[in-house]
Amino acid sequence: MEKMTAWERVEIARSPKRKTALDYINNIFDDFIELHGDRNFKDDKAIVCGLASIGEQSYTIIAEQKGRNTKENIERNFGMPNPESYRKAIRFMKQAEKFNRPVVTFIDTKGAYPGIGAEERGQGEAIAKSMFEMAKLKVPIVTIVIGEGSSGGALAIGVANKVFMMENAIYSILSPEGYSSILWKDSSRYKEAAEKMKLTAEDLYNANIIDKIINEPRECSDEDFKKITKKIKKEIISSIKDLSKMDKTEIVNDRYNKYRRITC
């Protein structure tokens, strides 16, 4: 891995030029059909859900999606999901279980949307329910952290059997700015906070929180990206093949034991 500071990784993870979840989905899977709505309030576009396939194997996809420009970011709420996004995700998790489809999630958010409306519609409950439903889902789950993975907004779709992480992605309880504001009452110490938070792929791999680091260059060309997504495709196929050898109870227990090891 290229040696960089934690803050340099944060800057790369946040770059508006970084590939989004739909870029990964369209390059990894043979086809993708987006499905919409939580059947309760609306279709929140910060999370994309749908059906995809690799060869004859079908998957349910749940992905946090940022925009490329101001217009797209407004449409996607800057990749910060409202509670209806998580309820949409839960809807398709349960559908995946019903039809015995593996689930693949892509994490890329600075956090769940903290607006008044989101809180009024039960943001905290929606995040907790999403994690609860993922924990007991009887189909294999693979998660890839592709950019920012911050706070409960990321954890809500991260309770997986296998967690992969891009080399220049980050995964943490909150942003370095938020951490330094809370801990030191000084948001200007964000670079120091980034180091102490242990939020890089290397840090998290060493702590046994993630299962594998997907290497990537500091600046990723289209050709580089094709090679990276080809590798991710192989990892997904291999992981799902191994997990599919387990029965439903073993799949749930594998996920449970993974997080018990992390928390103990």
The predicted-structure confidence for 20-60, as pLDDT tens digits, reads as follows 999 999 999 999 999 998 888 989 999 999 999 999 999 99
In DSSP terms, which residues pair with 107 in a beta bridge?
145
Pick the closest to residue 167 from 149, 145, 152 (CA basis). Answer: 145
* Structural domains of the chain sorted by starting position, each given as residue range(s) with its CATH number in brackets: 6-263 (3.90.226.10)
The predicted-structure confidence for 87-114, as pLDDT tens digits, reads as follows 999 999 999 999 999 999 999 999 999 9
Give the contacts of 134 (CB within 8 A, at least 6 positions apart).
93, 141, 157, 158, 159, 160
Q: Identify the H or E element spanning 150.
A: strand 141-150
pLDDT of residue 219: 87
Handedness of CA 167, 242, 259, 95 (dihedral sign): positive
Assess contact for 210 and 164: CB atoms under 8 A. yes
Distances from the Cα of 231 to the Cα of 14, 119, 120, 148, 208, angstroms = 23, 39, 42, 20, 21
Please tell me the distance from the alpha carbon of residue 38 to that of residue 40, in angstroms, as a whole number: 5
pLDDT of residue 130: 97
User: Average pLDDT, stretch 134-147?
Assistant: 97
Please state the pTM of the whole predicted model.
0.95
Model confidence at 262, pLDDT cuts 50, 70, 90, reads: low
The predicted-structure confidence for 146-199, as pLDDT tens digits, reads as follows 999 999 999 999 999 999 999 999 999 999 999 999 999 998 999 999 999 999
The predicted-structure confidence for 65-93, as pLDDT tens digits, reads as follows 999 889 999 999 999 999 999 999 999 99
Assess contact for 199 and 178: CB atoms under 8 A. no
pLDDT exceeds 60 at position 263: no
Mark out the alpha helices in 15-111 (DSSP H runs).
21-28, 70-75, 83-98
The predicted-structure confidence for 215-261, as pLDDT tens digits, reads as follows 999 888 889 999 999 999 999 999 999 999 999 999 999 999 998 87
Question: What one-character DSSP code corresponds to residue 77?
Answer: G
pLDDT of residue 260: 84
